Homo-oligomer: A and B are copies of this chain.
C-alpha cells in the first residue's frame, strides 16, 4: 500500500494524500462508512458510490466471523465479492467488539476467549488466527488485534493493557508477513497505537510499533485506538497532538471510531488522515441530521411544517428531493424510509466534510476555515 502526501496546511498539521490499494485509490483525509456485518445499514452500494461518493468502507471481523462465518466468506472469494463492493475495504480486528459486546470473555497473553453475543457459542481470537481470519475476509487493510483500554482506566491498568497489545502486535505482524493473501491481491496491515490518556504510554506505543514494523511495506499505516471511549474530548485532542508528530510522515494515520463532524475537523487539523464512525448511520436512524449549518433532530416538531429542502447545502440526492416536514413525518410514523434518507444524507455529508477539508488544505487555508466550520457544524438547530 503506497501513500503519497499531496499537500500540507501551513497553519496546522493537516495534510492531504492518496493511498493505493488493489481495489483503487483513496484520497485523504477520508471518512469511511461502517459496514459492520457486510452492509452499510440502510444504504445501497450503488448509492455509496454514486451519491455518498465513498472511497472505502469498513467491515468488522468480529461480526463477519460470527455471521456469515469464514466458510461462507472463503467460498464467496472474500468480502468484496460477498457484498458486491469492488472498492477498498478496511476491517477492524474485532478486538473492540469482544470488549464491548460480549458478556463473558477472558483475556490472556495467548489471546481473548469470548462467548458470542448472538448464541453464547465459545470462540478464541489469537493474533495468529486473527490474521488468518482477515486473510479470509480479504480486506485491503487489516487491523492488528489489540485490547481497547477504557478511557477512564488508571495508568497501571493502561500500562498492563498496552504491554499485552504490544505482545499481540509482535505475533500479529510476524504471522502477517509469513502468510500470503488468499485472493491474489495484496493486503496491508496497520498496528494500533494504544496507551489510553497517558502520554508516556502513548509514546511507548508509538516507539514500539514504529520500531517493529519500521519501513516494512507490509505496514500500510498506523491506527490510533482507545480514543473517544469515555475520556474527555480535550484529552483525545492532546493525545493526537502528541502521537501524530511521532508517527512517520509517509504513512496514513487512522483515528478509529471518531466521531462528530467537529471531532473529524479537529482530528484532521492534528494530522489524522482516516476516520470511521457509526454516528452518521446510527444517529441518522434515530433522527439526527448533520449539516454544514448544524445538527437537526428531525423528531422535533419544529420541522413538522418546514417544507423547505432537507439540506439546501447537501450533496445527496435526498437533500433536494425531500422536505424537512416529510422526513419529520416519516420519523414520527416510524417508517423505515426515514432511516434510509437520514443515513444517506449523513454519509454524504461526512464525505463532503472530508472533501471540503481536502480542498481547504490544498488551498492552504484549512486552519482558518476549520475554526468557523467547527462552530457551524456543532450548532444545534
Chain A residues with CB under 8 Å of chain B are 37-46, 63, 67-68, 72, 75-76, 82-84, 304-305, 307, 317, 321-323, 325-326, 329-330, 332-333, 335-337, 339-340
Contact = CB atoms under 8 A, between A and B. Distances in A.
A327 to B, nearest CB: 10
A332 B332 CA distance: 27
Contacts of A67: 329, 332-333
Interface of A is mostly: helix
A38 B68 contact: no
Contacts of A82: 323, 325-326, 329
Contacts of A317: 46
Contact of A38 (B38, B39, B330): B330
Contacts of A304: 68, 72
Given A72-B305, A83-B326, A84-B321, A336 B336 contact: yes
Given A45-B321, A68-B304, A321-B45, A326 B37 contact: no
A308 to B, nearest CB: 12
Q: How many copies does the complex hold?
A: 2
A160 B68 CA distance: 56
Given A67-B333, A75-B305, A333-B67, A326 B38 contact: yes
A304 B67 CA distance: 11
A322 B84 contact: yes
Nearest to A39: B337
A341 to B, nearest CB: 8
A321 B46 CA distance: 9
A338 to B, nearest CB: 8
Given A68-B325, A325-B68, A335 B41 contact: yes
A340 B321 CA distance: 19
Contacts of A322: 84
Contacts of A44: 337, 340
29 contacts: A37-B333, A38-B326, A38-B335, A39-B330, A39-B337, A40-B337, A41-B335, A41-B336, A41-B337, A42-B336, A43-B337, A44-B340, A45-B321, A68-B304, A68-B329, A68-B333, A72-B304, A72-B305, A72-B329, A75-B305, A75-B307, A76-B325, A82-B323, A82-B329, A84-B321, A84-B323, A336-B336, A336-B339, A336-B340
A43 B326 CA distance: 15
A339 B339 CA distance: 13
B329 A38 contact: yes
A76 to B, nearest CB: 6
A354 to B, nearest CB: 24
A312 to B, nearest CB: 15
A335 B43 CA distance: 11
Nearest to A334: B37
A339 to B, nearest CB: 7
A43 to B, nearest CB: 8
Most buried by B among A41, A82, A322, A336: A336
A45 B340 CA distance: 12
B307 A42 contact: no
* Residue of A44, A75, A305, A307 contacting most chain B CB atoms (<10 Å): A44
